[in-house]
C-alpha cells in the first residue's frame, strides 16, 4: 500500500523516477492515475506517447513567413484570454466590449428576404447553383447607385465578396510579394498580417514593427492623420476611414492630400470604408468623392457593421476601370482573375439580404441599428471623460480610443479584465502607435454597456 502523502510528494517532485525507481513500466513518459479503493489509494501507470519518439514528418518546408508572425492573430488571442479568464472566474458576468462583433438582431425586413430566398432554393423554379464570381448583377448595380451615385462608379466596377477582411487577403494576392506597403499606425491588423504571410515584410522588432513596412504615425498630436511629408514612398497604402481602432475620420482636405500623395508617388490606395455609415459629420464616406481618386484607389466595404452581417458575410470591393498598373494593364482585370480563381461568389442567400439592406425599408432599418450603437458610444465616451481620461473617436465610428499615458496596453487589458470582468482591446495590438491606449467597442446590449461603464467608474474613480 502506498500512503497518500507520499504520492502527493512524489508527483510534485522534479524527479518522478525517484518515486518509481527502476520500474520501466512506469517511466517518465507515463502519467500516474490514482484510484481510491475503500480507504486506500492505488497507483496505476497509464501509457502516454513518448515525446522522444519522433512523429512522421513530410519533406515540405514551412512557409518561412508564417514564422515571422507575432503570436496569434489579435482577435483569436483576445478570445483565448477571455476563455482563460472565465475558467478562473466561472461565476463572473464577463462583458465583451472588445472584438467588434454585432450584438443586436438582423432587422426583420432583411432577415425575411434571406429566409424567402432560402426557401425558394427548395423549389425547381427558385433553385440556383453557382452564381457569378463577381456577384449578382442587380446587387452590384444597386451598390453602385446607392453608395457611389454621381461618382462615376458603375456596376462593373463593383465586386461582391464574403466580407471586406477576405478581400484584403485577395488584394494581397493580387499585388504579390514584391510590393512595398504603408499602413496607418495604429490600424486593423489584417493589413499587416496578410502582408507578412505574402512575404512583403522583414522580421518583427519590438516597439518598431515589421521591416519593410512604412508605419504612418497617427496620434492625437497630428489629429490621427499622418504627416505625409515624412512618409516614404510605398506601392500600396492601406487607409481606413473612419478608422479602426482610433475612430477618427479623415476630412475632405486630408483625403485630397492622400490622393495627391498617391499620384505623386505612383501608389495605389486600399481604402477601407467599412464604417462609413457611422459618419456624423461631413467627412467623405467614400474615397471616390475626391477628384482623381479613381486613378489611384480601390475601396473595400461591408454590410457587417450596418446590418448585423458579421456571421452572414457579405461585402464588396470597388476597382475602378481607370486604375492601371505601371504597364497600363487594368487592375480590375487582374482582380477579376483572382476572384474567379480563388472564389466561387458570395452566398446567394446573403446577396438577397444585401439587396434588402439597400431597399428603402432596409436602409431605414440599418440606420436604426447604427443609431443604437452610436448611443452606446456616447455612453462610453461620457463615462471615460467623467473619469478624467483623454478620449478619442466615437463621433464617426463605433469605437472609443482611450489614452493611458505611459502604460503598457496588454497590462491595461489584463487589469481591466481582472478587476472589472470587461473585455477591451489593447491598443498595441493594432501597431506600435497604439501603445498606451485601449479600444472600447460600442457593440453590445445596452444593459451590458451600462453595467460595464458602472464597473469602469468603480475601478477608476
Q: How far apart are alpha carbons 455 and 284 in whole angstroms?
A: 36
Has residue 250 got a pLDDT over 50?
yes
Q: What is the mean pLDDT of the chain?
A: 90
Judged against a pLDDT cut of 50, whether residue 197 lies above it is answered with yes
**Mean pLDDT of the 50-65 span:** 85
pLDDT tier, 72 (very low <50, low <70, confident <90, very high otherwise): confident
pLDDT tier, 203 (very low <50, low <70, confident <90, very high otherwise): very high
Read off the pLDDT band of 50 (50, 70, 90): low
Phi, psi for 96 (deg, rounded to 5): -100, 115
DSSP letter, residue 105:
P
Q: Which three cell numbers stand for residue 438?
A: 485601449
Nearest to 319 by CA among 364, 342, 287: 287
Question: pLDDT (tens digit, 9 = 90+) per residue, 446-459?
Answer: 999 999 999 999 99
Domains and CATH numbers, the chain: 4-46 (no CATH), 72-105+363-460 (3.90.1150.10), 108-360 (3.40.640.10)
In this prediction, residue 51 carries a pLDDT of 54
Residues 319-325 have a mean pLDDT of 98
Q: Going by DSSP bridges, is the β-strand pair 399-403/391-393 parallel, antiparallel, or unpaired?
A: antiparallel
Q: What stretch of H or E contains 205?
A: strand 204-205
How is residue 458 written as a grid cell?
A: 468603480
Say which range, 20-34, 268-282, 309-323, 387-401, has the weakest mean pLDDT: 20-34
| Angstrom distance (rounded) from CA 162 to CA 155 | 17
Higher pLDDT, 6 or 401: 401
Say how many residues make up the chain: 461
Q: For residue 299, what are the contacts with CB-CB under 8 A and spacing of at least 6?
A: 271, 272, 273, 286, 287, 288, 317, 318
User: What's the mean pLDDT in 303-309?
Assistant: 97
Q: Are 411 and 391 in contact (CB under 8 A)?
A: no
Q: Which of 73 and 336 is assigned the larger pLDDT?
A: 336
Q: How many percent of the chain have pLDDT more than 90? A: 85
Question: Quick one: average pLDDT of 24-45?
Answer: 40
Share of the chain above pLDDT 70, in %: 88
403-413 pLDDT per residue, tens: 999 999 999 99
- What lies within 8 Å, CB to CB, of 39 at 6+ separation is none
What gap in Å lies between CA 304 and CA 228, rounded to an integer? 31
Task: Choose among 289, 233, 239: nearest CA to 266.
Answer: 233
Mean pLDDT of 68-96: 91
Quick one: cell of 118? 432560402
Measured CA to CA, the distance from residue 184 to residue 224 in angstroms comes to: 9
Amino acid at each position: 500500500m502506498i500512503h497518500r502523502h507520499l504520492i502527493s510528494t512524489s508527483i510534485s517532485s522534479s524527479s518522478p523516477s525517484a518515486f518509481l525507481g527502476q520500474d520501466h513500466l512506469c517511466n517518465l513518459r507515463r502519467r500516474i492515475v490514482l484510484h481510491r479503493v475503500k480507504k486506500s489509494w492505488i497507483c496505476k501507470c497509464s501509457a502516454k506517447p513518448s515525446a522522444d519518439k519522433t512523429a512522421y514528418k513530410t519533406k515540405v518546408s514551412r512557409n518561412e513567413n508564417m514564422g515571422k508572425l507575432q503570436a496569434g492573430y489579435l482577435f483569436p488571442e483576445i478570445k483565448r484570454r477571455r476563455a482563460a479568464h472565465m475558467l478562473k472566474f466561472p461565476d463572473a458576468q464577463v462583458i465583451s466590449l472588445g472584438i467588434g462583433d454585432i450584438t443586436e438582431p438582423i432587422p426583420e425586413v432583411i432577415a425575411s428576404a434571406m429566409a424567402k430566398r432560402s426557401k425558394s432554393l427548395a423549389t425547381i423554379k427558385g433553385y440556383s447553383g453557382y452564381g457569378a464570381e463577381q456577384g449578382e448583377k442587380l446587387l452590384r448595380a444597386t451598390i453602385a447607385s446607392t453608395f457611389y451615385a454621381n461618382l462615376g462608379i458603375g456596376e462593373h466596377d463593383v465586386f461582391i465578396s464574403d466580407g471586406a477582411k477576405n478581400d484584403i487577403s485577395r488584394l494581397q494576392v493580387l499585388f504579390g510579394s514584391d510590393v512595398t506597403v504603408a499602413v496607418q499606425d495604429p490600424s486593423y491588423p489584417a493589413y499587416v498580417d496578410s502582408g507578412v504571410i505574402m512575404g512583403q515584410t522583414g522580421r518583427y522588432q519590438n516597439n518598431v514593427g515589421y521591416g519593410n513596412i512604412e508605419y504612418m504615425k497617427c496620434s492625437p498630436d497630428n489629429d490621427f492623420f499622418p504627416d505625409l511629408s515624412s512618409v516614404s514612398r510605398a506601392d500600396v497604402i492601406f487607409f481606413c476611414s473612419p478608422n479602426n481602432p482610433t475612430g477618427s475620420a479623415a476630412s475632405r482636405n486630408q483625403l485630397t492630400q492622400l490622393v495627391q500623395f498617391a499620384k505623386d508617388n505612383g501608389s495605389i490606395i486600399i481604402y477601407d470604408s467599412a464604417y462609413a455609415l457611422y459618419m456624423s459629420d461631413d467627412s467623405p464616406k467614400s474615397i471616390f468623392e475626391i477628384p482623381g481618386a479613381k486613378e489611384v484607389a480601390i475601396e473595400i466595404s461591408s454590410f457587417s457593421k450596418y446590418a448585423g452581417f458579421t456571421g452572414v458575410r457579405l461585402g464588396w470591393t470597388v476597382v475602378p476601370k481607370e486604375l492601371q498598373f505601371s504597364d497600363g494593364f487594368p487592375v480590375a482585370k487582374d482582380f477579376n482573375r483572382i476572384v474567379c480563381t480563388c472564389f466561387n461568389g458570395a452566398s446567394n442567400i446573403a446577396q438577397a439580404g444585401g439587396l434588402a439592406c439597400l431597399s428603402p425599408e432596409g436602409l431605414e432599418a440599418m440606420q436604426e441599428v447604427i443609431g443604437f450603437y452610436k448611443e452606446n458610444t456616447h455612453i462610453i465616451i461620457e463615462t471615460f471623460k467623467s473619469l478624467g481620461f483623454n478620449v478619442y473617436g466615437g463621433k464617426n465610428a463605433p469605437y472609443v480610443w482611450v489614452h493611458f499615458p505611459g502604460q503598457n496596453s496588454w497590462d491595461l487589458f489584463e487589469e481591466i479584465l481582472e478587476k472589472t470582468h470587461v473585455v477591451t482591446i489593447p491598443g498595441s495590438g493594432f501597431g506600435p502607435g497604439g501603445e498606451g491606449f485601449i479600444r472600447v467597442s460600442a457593440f453590445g446590449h445596452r444593459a451590458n454597456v451600462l453595467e460595464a461603464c458602472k464597473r469602469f467608474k468603480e475601478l477608476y474613480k
